[in-house]
Amino acid sequence: MLTQIETVGVIGAGQMGQGIAQVSADAGLNVVMSDVSADAARAGLDRIGEATERAVEGGKMDAARRDGLLGRIEVTGALADLGHCDLVIEAASENEAVKTAIFSELCPQLKPEAVLATNTSSISITRLAAATDRPERFMGIHFMNPVPRMKLVELVRGIATADATFELARGYVDRLGKTATVSEDFPAFIVNRILLPMINEAIYTLYEGVGTVEAIDTAMKLGANHPMGPLELADFIGLDTCLAIMQVLHDGLADSKYRPCPLLVKYVEAGWLGRKTGRGFYDYRGETPVPTR
């Protein structure tokens, strides 16, 4: 069994994968970041380069640290290139079928002692682990978005997760300088079990005409001292991800209070997913965001 993590594989070069790769490399770990193609993975690395360049320009990081960080990240379009990694973290889209398909292709490539983790924000760790060849060396390591700024990581054990696997994961989180909280394996864990129903209720408040987008966000920022309004936050997370988590809660807990708001469903059907598509509860295509309702 491994005693320490030195090389981390990250599957997915999107916003979460980029963040996990960046903080891992910044902690001195070697990183291999993969995506569906080498070009997609390189684009993710380019965005890490842009983010760290802004950090250098803002005085939050020196150039030598930035250069060292980027030098420790390799990119690939092939899961086989993750075979030597000690820890592989899957950070693909919040879709169980996608994740299990990745594990099916990945597991035969991994060395026997490697630990496999998922960054899922809501899906059962036990069920995902059962789709792999190493349920005792599988667990949830759920980072918050944006990864470089957020201090919390949720650690979630499946029913088969070995103690040694958990301790390796905790040691990895400690090395990143982040704080771990431990959640039981229930739908959406701790943070999203509380956060997403609040966002869904804000969408219901809009849907029922209680307040406008601007009124709702202003009320929660100034009335509850939230740094970001719930509808603004939903756009930041991605409305498709919000809907996926609410569906996991609704299906997993069979309670009508978790029913996704029809307006959220409508926005996702329209392809208005928030910041990443240019429109959600705000329109981001101009110089300043404008409410869409």
Active site residues: 121, 142, 154, 192
Determine the Cα–Cα distance for residues 213 and 202; give it in Å rounded to an integer.
9
Helices and strands: H and E segment counts in the chain = 11, 10
Helix pair 63-71, 15-26: axis angle to 10 deg = 110
CA 252, 258, 262, 264 torsion-angle sign: negative
Pairing of strands 115-118, 87-90: parallel
Strand partners, 241: none
Determine the Cα–Cα distance for residues 43 and 37; give it in Å rounded to an integer.
10
Q: For residue 188, give the 3-state DSSP assignment.
A: coil
Place of tokens 């842009």: 50
Buried b (16+ CB within 10 A) or exposed e, 87-117: bbbbbbebebeebeebbeebbebbeeebbbb
Q: What are phi and psi for residue 157, nearest 5 degrees?
A: -90, 140
Q: For residue 3, give the 3-state DSSP assignment.
A: coil
Q: What is the largest CA-CA distance in the chain?
A: 57
Q: Which residues contact 128 (CB under 8 A, 6 or more apart)?
A: 96, 99, 100, 103, 118, 120, 138, 158
